[in-house]
Amino acid sequence: MRLAVVIVSYNVCDLLRRCLQSVCGSARQSESWLAVEVTVVDNASHDGSAQMVAGEFPHVNLIAMTDNIGFTRANNFALRRLGFGADGRERAPSAPDLVLLLNPDTEVIDDALGKLAAFMRSNPSAGACGPRLHYEDGSLQHGGFAFPGLAQVALDLLPLARLPGLSRLLQRLLQSRINGRYSRRQWLGVAPFPVDFVLGAALMARGASIRAVGLLDEGYFMYCEEMDWCLRMGEAGLPTYAVPAAQIVHYEGRSSSQIRWKSFERLWASRFRFFRRHKRLYPHGFHLFLRPLVRLGLAWNGWNARREFARGRLAGHRLGEQLDAYARVLDLGG
């Protein structure tokens, strides 16, 4: 069985080096039935990432882009190179059996690659799977979720923790199914369990699943592309699972934190696209409540930002960036 690991990177040279070292180490621990190859798509980094890969990891397939084409398009570029055709529905004999989309700000622990691949090998009806994720300090990061609803939008946008007496209740809500979370007991166990989708930080898809539903939707520059992919797989009868026995550390958001408010806009552009594209899951009534909820949340956060500025806790240019981002999100669909 062949596994292709695809890593899309942008200006995270040191993290990418650590990621590749961990992937190579995990591959060496894999069973003999699993052959692992690695492709890095460098999205026109200017920190020496491509040169580092070429010099230190000559066995890795390096695709050095001349422009930043975004996370989704870059992954699709690699998938086409791997033999999945223009739209993903053509699979060349050379195409791998499994593909792992892996963020560069991750570190694969022990035989996580082999454990994910073994699950897919033993469960031929599974379309995709993902590992248990950890933050850098070892705490659990939820790596799989239920598809978002209005409650999740509200919990994301409204700073309810500031309201007296709600902080403890909010923490329970944030970790509950209302906020799309599966239980910690499931994540801290070893038994695989079904989820609506897993994070694109570490998403393993079967080659046959890609052929069944096509490539990632390039309408998502970044964010939500994994939700869309897993939803399409589920609709095709190819469910997604979490495999907590496989563990990966996720140094979350190092790439996107470089451009925080641009990332915020892209996140909401992708969310609006996802909600609009999947009308069965998000009918007309959902959107009637979504728009005022987003407006309320952004207005509330804007008011708090202005208050922080007035107290000298937020620089004027930071306030401007934040308010401009909120205005652009409202223009997108809020």
pLDDT digits (tens, 9 = 90+) for 97-129: 999 999 999 999 999 999 999 999 999 999 999
In a domain, 27, yes or no: yes
DSSP assignment letter at 181: B
**Residue 63: strand pairing partners:** 41
* pTM of the entire predicted model: 0.92
- Whole-angstrom CA distances from 99 to 33, 110, 196 are 16, 18, 19
Cα(185)–Cα(18) distance, rounded to whole angstroms?
30
167: pLDDT strictly greater than 90: no
Where among 251, 279, 300 does a domain terminate? Answer: 251
Average pLDDT estimate for 135-141: 94
- Whole-angstrom CA distances from 33 to 120, 144, 159, 194 are 13, 27, 50, 25
**The pairing of beta strand 2-9 with beta strand 98-102:** parallel
Where among 251, 268, 294 does a domain terminate? Answer: 251
User: What is the extent of the structural domain holding 311?
Assistant: 259-332
In a domain, 162, yes or no: no
In a domain, 154, yes or no: no
Cα(269)–Cα(170) distance, rounded to whole angstroms?
26
In a domain, 164, yes or no: no
**Residue 287 shares a structural domain with residue 308:** yes
Structure token digits, residue 10: 């942008």
Read off the amino acid at residue 190: V
Handedness of CA 29, 75, 260, 219 (dihedral sign): negative
**Residue 18 shares a structural domain with residue 119:** yes
334: pLDDT strictly greater than 60: no
For 1-15, write each residue's pLDDT tens digit.
999 999 999 999 999
Place of tokens 């690699």: 78
Query: Are 39 and 77 contacting, i.e. CB atoms less than 8 angstroms apart?
Result: no
**Residue 232 shares a structural domain with residue 88:** yes
What's 14's domain CATH number?
3.90.550.10
**Residue 244 shares a structural domain with residue 266:** no
**Residue 246 shares a structural domain with residue 267:** no
For the chain, how many structural domains are there in total?
Answer: 2
Across 191-239, the runs of DSSP E, i.e. the strands, are 193-195, 197-198, 202-206
Where among 225, 251, 277 does a domain terminate? Answer: 251
253: pLDDT strictly greater than 60: no
In a domain, 158, yes or no: no
In a domain, 189, yes or no: yes
**Residue 244 shares a structural domain with residue 187:** yes
